[in-house]
Structure 1
């Protein structure tokens, strides 16, 4: 998981991790941008390339025109959105 838009940090089912033999790792992503911005840029480039290839597909739950951006930001702040909210420019491209 990345981020907790609802404001609630979920509690992982540790028994599942133990039985299925995987690890759970937490990190403060914002701190990376302070300590190693080049690493953040590198990760961004790799994720962008994966998305361009279709290897990862972010969930976009809403697409709103620029005029609806303020309401969309408020819904994100209120924690009532699921996935990404894309703000579209007049030509239909995402901002």
Structure 2
């Protein structure tokens, strides 16, 4: 089954670098996928797999876990429905 991954990222926030990092992690493991990235809403880093939102930085304030996203891509290529992606730990936040 073909898999399309679409990433909306905030260009103003510099999230293109994060998209490049995701691409470097995902594409070697899944060279057959279609991976699209485009600038979108402020502070966004939203990931859809075959049209289903699997991760939203706007909701979680974190980036997706790339290994879990890779597993989701494998599952979808095997015919399963996309599921929510785990998130990377938030490490740049401080509480005063």
TM-score by length of 1: 0.25
Give 1 or 2: higher strand fraction.
2
Greater helix percent: which structure?
1
- Larger Rg computed on CA atoms: 1
